[in-house]
Amino acid sequence: MNESALLTDLYQLTMLQGYWHEGMAETAVFELFVRRFPPQRNFLVAAGLAQALDYLENLRFHEAEIAYLAETGLFQDEFLETLRDFRFHGDVDAMPEGTVFFPDEPILRVTAPLPEAQLVETRLINLLQFQTLIASKAVRCVLAAPGKRQVDFGLRRAHGAEAGLLAARAAYLAGFAGTSNVLAGQRFGIPVFGTMAHSYVMAHDDELAAFRGFARSQPHNVVLLIDTYDTLAAVDKVVALAGELEKENIRIKAVRIDSGDLRELARAVRQRLDRAGRTDIGIFASGDLDEYKLQALRDAPIDGFGVGTKLTTSSDVPYLNCAYKLEAYAGIPRRKVSAGKQTWPGAKQVYRYYAEDGTLAYDSLTTAEDRQNGEALLQPVMRRGKRLHPPEPLSVLRERVAAQLERLPVPLRSIDQQAGYRVEISPALQRLTETTDQRLGLH
């Protein structure tokens, strides 16, 4: 990860100079939440906390960065001096990664001296909104084609290297089987998948020779791409080759189709394979897939899917209306009332309530001091700039997501239907909002 302290908006630094000038360093509370959900999302899945905490723990300004800031001519030397010792010493409470959440619910709360809590805004949003975006998209793919193995193929059209890397992580924690992204495999321990592209077939003068050469070069990972020229003719070559390779103890695991009408082709390919007695050869499909196409293909004879561009860019919803807002400073709750951008004041907590059958019933958004019987979703994760626990393994996050999906009410699980979920504003939070507005002269 590129964790330069300069990976932020300039205004964070000019505000820091202002706070320094005015001697404002008392405790601030900021919360990160998604204001309104796009109509295509019934719920979101929180993700990216591990990277956010890494960032906070390692944040510091290096010599060359301070020198660059000096060159801009915008900063006073005495202020820049203070950046040399700048560290994040704050507290963080957050929903565990993989938690399902709803509009206006904070997924992360930072409590820190004002300048520290301010500076980190940009990168915290950058890290949390992106992985949350992709985990939420990936979960929809999982819901659309349950029981089918899905693999992230999106690196090439991801928005840069980090997007490809973090999208692979977010998709895996959401329930994908793995990724084609080798660096994500190395970095995060995610299973990697991949065999051949059209170029492999095209570089050979003969399709069968390409299949044979590939299979012999990696006898334990033989998936053959059959749609470079004539898909059904290629199946016949695969069948012939399968018999030939058996004598060499090489097994063709599957064929892949990457274009055309996947449903029709899969049916025809399956039929042709079965007639030849090749029920042991699976079918893997890819090409422009998303949750809608996956749902349409769920009863096609396809064993697994490669999901690429539309996952990694969350193409129908390429961003979330995510904000990181000042909720309190120096013990006084704060509130923004800009048109359409009002926020609930003060440090907050979310309590979740379940129905008797274990499914989610409703959430209560309340003040951090309020004590309720529900499940408190925001948990302490960092105190005085240090993590309270080691990062959670991805296996734990995968189990959490799977468990939460099982407890989702059925309408929320639909990828088509718009289904609401009740987030109650607690009486305590309503009272606090009223007193805050009175103080601001809004009543």
Q: Does 250 bind a second copy (CB under 8 A)?
A: no
In one-letter notation, the amino acid at residue 320 is: L
CB of 123 or CB of 413, closer to a second copy: 123
Q: Which of 58, 70, 84, 197 binds a second copy (CB under 8 A)?
A: 197
Q: Which of 140, 148, 278, 334 binds a second copy (CB under 8 A)?
A: 334
Q: Among 78, 146, 243, 260, which residue sits at the site for a second copy (rule: CB under 8 A)?
A: 260
**Choice from 63, 77, 85, 205 touching a second copy (CB under 8 A):** 205
Nearer to a second copy, 44 or 158 (CB): 158
Q: Is 158 helix (H, G, I), strand (E, B) or coil?
A: coil
The residue count for binding a second copy (CB under 8 A) is 108
| Candidate list 36, 58, 68, 417; residue touching a second copy; CB under 8 A | 68
Residues 24-53 that bind a second copy (CB under 8 A): 24, 28, 30
Question: Where do the DSSP E strands lie in 330-437?
Answer: 332-333, 348-354, 360-367, 375-376, 379-383, 386-387, 423-425
Report the site for a second copy in 302-321 (rule: CB under 8 A): 309, 313-315, 318-320
Residues 145, 416: Cα–Cα separation, whole Å: 14
Asked if 254 interacts with a second copy (CB under 8 A), we say no
Task: Give the 3-state secondary structure of residue 230.
Answer: coil
Cα distance between residue 351 and residue 362, in whole Å: 9
Q: Are 108 and 93 in contact (CB under 8 A)?
A: yes
**CA 76 from centre of chain:** 39
Please identify which residue in 86, 292, 329, 353 interacts with a second copy, judged by CB under 8 A.
329
Work out whether 196 is an interface residue with a second copy (CB under 8 A).
yes
Where in 153-192 is the site for a second copy (CB under 8 A)?
153, 155-167, 180-183, 185-186, 192
What's the rounded Cα separation, in Å, for the pair 436 and 122?
26
The CA distance from 370 to 3, in Å, is 36
The two tokens of residue 48 are 């990216």
Retrieve residue 265's tokens: 């082709």
Per-residue contact track with a second copy, 129 to 148, x per CB under 8 A?
xx------------------
Choose between 2 and 373: whose C-beta lies nearer to a second copy.
2
Instruction: Please identify, among the stretches 105-113, 237-245, 255-263, 361-369, the one whose residues bind a second copy according to the rule CB under 8 A.
Output: 255-263
Smallest distance, a second copy to C-beta of residue 249, A: 16
Q: Distance between CA 137 and CA 44 in Å, rounded?
A: 8
* 202 near a second copy, judged by CB under 8 A: yes
Contact 255, 301 (CB under 8 A): no
Q: How far apart are the first and last CA of the chain?
A: 47
| Cα atoms found within 13 Å of the Cα of residue 138, Cβ hemisphere only | 37
Q: Does 82 participate in binding a second copy (rule CB under 8 A)?
A: no
- Interacting span for a second copy (CB under 8 A) from 253-261, 369-377, 391-399, 403-411: 253-261
